[in-house]
Chain A
Amino acid sequence: MSESTKSNHTSFLEYKGKYRGILGWILSTDHKRIGLLYLYTMLVFFSVAAILGLLMKIQLIAPGHTIMGPATYNAMFTMHGIIMIFIIVVPGLPAVFGNFFLPLMIGAKDVAFPKLNLASWWIYVIGILIVLTSQFLGDGPPDTGWTFYAPYSFQTPANIVPALVGAFVLGFSSILTGINFVVTIHRLRTPGMTWFKMPLFPWTLYATAWIQILATPVIGITLLLTVMERTLGVGIFDPALGGDPILYQHLFWIYSHPAVYIMILPGLGVISEIIPVFSRKRIFGYKAIVLSSLAIAFVGYFVWGHHMFTSGMSGRALFAFSFLTFLVAIPSAVKVFNWVATMYKGSLIFQTPFFWAVSFIFVFMIGGFSGLTLGSLATNVHLHDTHFVVAHFHFIVFGGTGFSFLAAIHYWFPKMFGRMFDASWANIGWVVFFAGFLTLYLPMFSLGIMGMPRRYYDYLPEFHAANILSSLGAMLMIAGAMIIIVNLVRSARYGKKTNEKNPWGGKTLEWQADTPPTLENWEEIPEVTEKPYEY
């Protein structure tokens, strides 16, 4: 920065601390640098897992052995799942944008425990490295799917233990981030920012952090027990020793259903930020959005059984879980209603973040409705373990988390890098990606209804046409992703410099900070008197 030499006016990107160069980043306790560390790490592994996904779709472009056999295919969908779930979407928005923007949005200088925050990233990286060793050591890469279902996970000769241990370590990182955020929100809100004056993204981070704290230990102990099953044979999940493999499924989904909300809630928060800004209108039903976030976090805890409708549970449990699943759809629908009501009669501004936000609502609703189809017992029995589930899952997790992630990065890009992205390329990327996404996943719904099972490298000839369409969609979507990523990376380096604090006209606090923010965000802690989103 040429215009100032005083250190507290230097942007966080250029600040020189105790360490120089790369060490100044990987040893930095600055929440903004840590957020970017997560972003870069995820970018690398997202690319790897996306390529695995593309290879799978190429294999499925025709029946039979196209480019890989069954064993390779199993290993690929396992690794695709483990990377995408445990390394990308679970840490996802909280780790990148939560770290970067939570302190900015509540007027704090950093998170409550900056050193712990850095430790979280290191634990995350260590977890990734442990997961990766499963690919190269031992008797072949894991082939269980990311769910590690018992009893196969301790019967397969594949190298499961490092994957389990790695996922356990990644969970630990997630818990520490959650603890950090809850304490930050409780203790570091700027004077005047009462709970109901807090913006919605921090609210969703708060709900998410509680799930991270209360659900992640469940998967932790489950993975650990599976490791012990493999190494010691304690028998807890092993039917040969009296254990109940369905109990494994219970425990796995007691975490993994709430984990879906870890993935999606911060995304809902991002959309709740973007919609009012680009509608130039106050958010409709602020409190309803807050309460529905908390309700999702709470009710989401008791619906896990809808993943196990065909596992042989008792009839009563089936009814209970189906009912609770329908219940949890309500708060999600409340949010969609609020977004649409916010846009109604607003002066809409058609720019890239808004496109992503609106397309998010579209795919999120398709994902939600197909979720209800799966949540009702009769249809579930027919659709379970078919491509319908794959489509639903990707509409929620990729459509939900992925689209909101892309919405977030375009929305906050100028603040993060002090440069503008190239808007026309960004819009082209969005069109290509969105079209590819729909072409890729919509055919899977009908494939599922027709009865094509998931997790097979092969299929019957009657499924051929839809699979061709889907595979072409995958290529289109990857092309879109490449346009977006290249555009963002290029813009971060060479884009038009901007010091404008508030390019979109947002009302939340992060837009009052310098662009890009200085090391400690504020010279003076900003005061808050009115609610967010007052247009």
Chain B
Amino acid sequence: MEKNAEHTHVHRDDEGDKLGMWLFIFTELLLFGMLFLIYAVYRYRNPVAFQLGGEEVDVFIGTLNTVLLLVSSATVAMSISAIQKGLKKHALVFLGITLLIALVFLVNKYFEWGAKIEYGFYPGGEALLELGHGTILFFGLYYVMTGIHALHILIGIGLFIYVFQQIRADKIHSTDYIWLENTGLYWHLVDIIWIFLFPLFYLIH
């Protein structure tokens, strides 16, 4: 029995799939863009509090995570190069490294957040509510923006696991790798968002 009797024509259009992925990336850019807009407005209105807020954040973990994400962006790109050349083993290794880094990123995030939450530094937390409005906004945005970013990392991990399986099963190979390519595009988007989050929350003060 045919798997899908309704669509007998086998239609494959990698360029179309990629265009679809780019359009999705544009949606994501606008979504995060609005968060950056909110940040800009509140930084403009509360310059001092945002300056002080930036000093409360763990620069070391932030820098570490930045380096990790940049490396993972390179490895996922290398994984695509590998599959294009037909080097399945290489592709799996590079993808495995990327997956591992994504997990480490989340572990770091867990400790970073954990340390703050312990001190009551979270939305609605007692320690935070005692501080001024600007600081409440800074940390509100900090949790929302890095939180939604972390959610995207989590989705990325899911995609990596799926793509990893597909490469192992030879469903993704040197002539059909759009899934890997699109996953790579998504991951670079996640990286780009972080490239902006990093200075805004960890560096400038």
B119 within 8 A of A: no
Are B35 and A112 in touch, CB under 8 angstroms?
no
Are B19 and A186 in touch, CB under 8 angstroms?
yes
Q: Which residue in chain B gives the minimum CB-CB distance to A247?
A: B41
A178 within 8 A of B: yes
Q: Name which of A36-44, A227-235, A328-336, A346-354 contacts chain B.
A: A227-235
Give Cα A380–Cα B1 distance, bound, in whole angstroms.
65
Choice from B23, B34, B133 contacting A218 with Cβ under 8 Å: B34
Are A187 and B15 in touch, CB under 8 angstroms?
yes
B175 within 8 A of A: no
Are A519 and B34 in touch, CB under 8 angstroms?
no
| Across-interface contacts of B42 in A (CB, < 8 A) | 236, 242, 244
B141 within 8 A of A: yes
Give Cα A244–Cα B20 distance, bound, in whole angstroms.
36
Are B7 and A114 in touch, CB under 8 angstroms?
yes
Give Cα A309–Cα B44 distance, bound, in whole angstroms.
22
The contact string, 1 if C-beta is below 8 Å from chain B, for chain A 232-255, is 111110000111100100010010
B181 to A: closest C-beta gap in Å: 15
Q: How many residues of A contact B (CB 8 A)?
A: 45
Residue from the set B4, B16, B34, B137 with the largest chain A CB neighbour count within 10 Å:
B34
The contact string, 1 if C-beta is below 8 Å from chain B, for chain A 274-311, is 00000000000000000000000000000000000000
The contact string, 1 if C-beta is below 8 Å from chain B, for chain A 7-37, is 0000000010110000000001110000000
Are A183 and B31 in touch, CB under 8 angstroms?
no
Give Cα A359–Cα B8 distance, bound, in whole angstroms.
43
A187 to B: closest C-beta gap in Å: 4
A510 within 8 A of B: no
Give Cα A327–Cα B38 distance, bound, in whole angstroms.
27
Are A241 and B136 in touch, CB under 8 angstroms?
yes
Q: Which residue in chain A gives the minimum CB-CB distance to B134?
A: A242
A273 within 8 A of B: no
Q: Name which of A67-75, A209-217, A387-395 contacts chain B.
A: A209-217
Are A18 and B136 in touch, CB under 8 angstroms?
no
Interface residues of B in 143-188 (CB under 8 A from A): 143-144
B199 within 8 A of A: no
The contact string, 1 if C-beta is below 8 Å from chain B, for chain A 214-225, is 111110111001
Chain B at the A interface: mostly helix, strand, loop or mixed? helix
| Across-interface contacts of A109 in B (CB, < 8 A) | 9, 11
Give Cα A520–Cα B8 distance, bound, in whole angstroms.
9
| Across-interface contacts of A149 in B (CB, < 8 A) | none
| Across-interface contacts of B19 in A (CB, < 8 A) | 182-183, 186-187
A83 within 8 A of B: no
| Across-interface contacts of A254 in B (CB, < 8 A) | 34
Are B137 and A251 in touch, CB under 8 angstroms?
no
Choice from A17, A178, A183, A244 contacting B5 with Cβ under 8 Å: A17
B58 to A: closest C-beta gap in Å: 20
Residue from the set B37, B137, B140, B143 with the largest chain A CB neighbour count within 10 Å:
B140
Are B2 and A18 in touch, CB under 8 angstroms?
yes
Interface residues of B in 18-34 (CB under 8 A from A): 19-20, 23-24, 26-28, 30-31, 34
Are A30 and B6 in touch, CB under 8 angstroms?
yes
B contact set with A: CB distance below 8 Å: 1-2, 4-9, 11, 13, 15-16, 19-20, 23-24, 26-28, 30-31, 34-35, 37-38, 41-42, 45-46, 123-124, 132-134, 136-137, 140-141, 143-144
A contact set with B: CB distance below 8 Å: 15, 17-18, 28-30, 109-110, 112-114, 175, 178-180, 182-183, 186-188, 213-218, 220-222, 225, 228, 232-236, 241-244, 247, 251, 254, 519-520
